[in-house]
Structure 1
Amino acid sequence: MGDKNPLDNITCDLAPKKTATQMGSSTVFVNGTGAVRLGDNVAVHTFAGVGCPTHAPGLVSGSPNVFVEGKALGRKNDTYGCTAKIISGSSNVYANGN
């Protein structure tokens, strides 16, 4: 546990993370779920005991060439600002192999 980037005001960058996406597209769906896009927030979360403040950073990585409403599509293994990763996704829709 610890602070990966002391300049980002998130003190739990290295905490174990398992949370959910808070928002996605309201017009583009993948198997009935709103597609996650660059900038969409992870669910508000905190990790007790690791000095982690409550936060909900946006997705900071995504597909280089697949876009939803003008924003890069979020894929499995793409990351949020707190280093949380998308760990699951559609079993039959892929973008760039993810």
Structure 2
Amino acid sequence: MENGVALQLIGGNWQLFSNLFAIWNLKINSVSNSHNRRTKRAFKRQEEEEERMKKHNELVAEFNQHVDEAYKYVIYCLMVSIIAMCFAVYFITTNFV
């Protein structure tokens, strides 16, 4: 089809082509807006997940610190108990010999 014939066809049916273009443009904008909303929601969800993981990691680090302190105190208690037992054995053996 030559340009002249195409222009006559469009010119004769201008309202139809105008409406088709408007519908096509609305559809393109709708898809674009939907994509933008989905992208924003996904980004917001990702930020919330990162914040949740940051808080979780802080809690885990704090818990691990408390566990380390507890192990340290248990080891100190065992060392004191062993030293006390050594003194007890020494005093018992020196008094009964």
Shorter-chain TM-score range? under 0.3
Structure whose CA Rg is larger: 2
Greater share of strand = 1
TM-score, normalised to structure 1's length?
0.15
**Highest RCO, 1 vs 2 (Cα 8 Å, sep ≥ 6):** 1
Greater share of helix = 2
